[in-house]
Amino acid sequence: MNIRRTTKGRTVLTAVAITTGLVLTVAGCGGGGDDDKGDKGDKGSDKNTSSSPAKSDGNDDGQQSEAPSAEEIMAEVKAGGLTLAVTSADRDEGGFVTVEGTVTNGSGKSWVAADWRGDERELAGNGGSIAGASLVDQTGKKKYLVLRDTEGRCLCTRFTGGLQPGETTEWFAQFPAPPEDTTKVSFQVGSMPPASVEISEGE
């Protein structure tokens, strides 16, 4: 497990205490469905301009770093000029799953992730973030929301300052872990299509 994950773990203890309340039963479980409105302009290209890791503890912003090579990408979806890649989904000790990846803004205009933060009033304080993401266990018919602390701060990346045209930044989000026999889930955020990912055991 890398150093970033250690930092994220500091806030997990408070979040895990409310994990049970974040597990929702999803009828039909069609892969997370379409959320929210789009804030993602008319984008359509993958530009490999670097930006940087937006991971740490939910208070960090995106900064500059290289995008992963194609062979490291587990899943990739596109919508409105954005390209969302998932590079890992690790089950960690403590009963949570950390999902990481990158987002590339190929829109030609600034992107602020407004519709990625979710509709819940409690999440409004996170600003532009990936707080509205979810994991869907289609077999168990359950939907898992991003963990947050008692003040509503998500255990996820915040995109403070937005993402400029052509930039790529990293993101992470932590969720309650599905049952151990569940190894495949769908990751979904905003109006992006669901991305099918396989959960691996953390090191």
What pairs with residue 75 in β-bridges?
86
Domain hosting 39: range is: 3-178
Determine, yes or no, domain membership for 152: yes
Determine, yes or no, domain membership for 12: yes
For 31-66, write each residue's pLDDT tens digit.
444 444 444 444 444 444 444 444 444 444 444 444
Look at the chain and report how many structural domains it folds into: 1
For 2-26, write each residue's pLDDT tens digit.
444 444 444 444 444 444 344 443 4
Determine, yes or no, domain membership for 187: no
Determine, yes or no, domain membership for 203: no
Residue 182: how many other CB atoms lie within 10 Å: 17
Determine, yes or no, domain membership for 170: yes
Determine, yes or no, domain membership for 26: yes
Q: Say which DSSP state 34 is in.
A: -
46/111: higher pLDDT:
111
Burial degree of 63 (CB within 10 A; 0-12, 13-18, 19+):
middle
CA dihedral 9, 130, 75, 142 (to 10 degrees): 80
C-alpha dihedral sign at 47, 52, 56, 58: negative
Average pLDDT, the chain: 75
Per-residue CA distances from 30 to 45, 59, 83, 118, 194 (Å): 27, 31, 21, 18, 9
Determine, yes or no, domain membership for 198: no
Encoding tokens for residue 156? 């996820």
Determine, yes or no, domain membership for 197: no
For 66-98, write each residue's pLDDT tens digit.
444 555 899 999 999 999 999 999 998 889 999
Give the model's pLDDT for residue 176: 96
